[in-house]
Chains A and B, each alone.
Chain A
Amino acid sequence: GAVVSQHPSWVICKSGTSVKIECRSLDFQATTMFWYRQFPKQSLMLMATSNEGSKATYEQGVEKDKFLINHASLTLSTLTVTSAHPEDSSFYICSARPTTRGTQYFGPGTRLLVL
């Protein structure tokens, strides 16, 4: 149980384009999902908290207009990287929580390469 999927697993795009990443909880409902970013050989950094039916909460330094988050249902959150640039190249990982508190389960991650 507690399986989280992400799609796509990797994406290569040109600078200036937008990329959408999906995060799904497969066997549970999640009112809250989280988006993290991880650069090579570094730790995960929380970007934003995605709340079903309301606006996302962004961490300090994360541009909300660049990283659009939509939590359309209790099993799906999407992260759209708008006008991507090479510095946005990273490993994007989502997590979801089956209950209002407690353990977060992570997806397999999406590797983004912006050329």
Chain B
Amino acid sequence: GESVGLHLPTLSVQEGDNSIINCAYSNSASDYFIWYKQESGKGPQFIIDIRSNMDKRQGQRVTVLLNKTVKHLSLQIAATQPGDSAVYFCAENRRGGADGLTFGKGTHLIIQP
């Protein structure tokens, strides 16, 4: 069936560097996308979202890019810190967020000191 997937299961970056986490989605009906951060043993924490009528959205140290042509989503984290180490999930939704979420497989981001 249709799903959301990630290119890399593990990403290791040096503290202070920028990181980019990628996500591919296949459901063309998706119109709302969210990035979550999950630390071990905890629930997902909202990072940033974007609707399909936008191609870029910025938050504090984070930027989400959406390319609907190739159905690709990315999360950029600037100046990574040790606290950024976690698993990051992209999630997609239809009807502007009215439905339950379909999650990607997750990328484990490791920040090296």
Please give the residue numbers on chain A whose beta carbons come within 8 Å of chain B beta carbons, in ascending order: 4, 6, 34, 36, 42-46, 49, 59, 93, 95, 97, 100-109, 111
Identify 19 residue pairs between A and B in the complex whose beta-carbon atoms are under 8 Å apart, listed by A's number. Answer: A4-B43, A36-B100, A44-B103, A46-B100, A46-B101, A59-B100, A93-B44, A95-B101, A100-B98, A101-B98, A103-B34, A104-B97, A104-B101, A105-B46, A106-B43, A106-B45, A108-B42, A108-B43, A109-B41
Cβ-closest chain A residue relative to B100: A46
Chain B residues, CB < 8 A from A6: 43
Please give the residue numbers on chain B whose beta carbons come within 8 Å of chain A beta carbons, in ascending order: 32, 34, 36, 41-46, 49, 89, 95-106
Chain A residues, CB < 8 A from B105: 42-43
* B34 engages A44 (CB within 8 Å): no
Q: Which of A42, A45, A106 contacts B44 (CB 8 A)?
A: A106
Shortest CB-to-CB span from B77 to chain A, Å, is 19
Shortest CB-to-CB span from B105 to chain A, Å, is 5
Given contacts A43-B104, A43-B106, contact A101 B44 (CB under 8 A): no
* A109 engages B42 (CB within 8 Å): yes
Shortest CB-to-CB span from A107 to chain B, Å, is 5
Shortest CB-to-CB span from B32 to chain A, Å, is 8
Q: Given the complex of chains A and B, what is the CA–CA distance between A44 and B43 in angstroms? A: 10
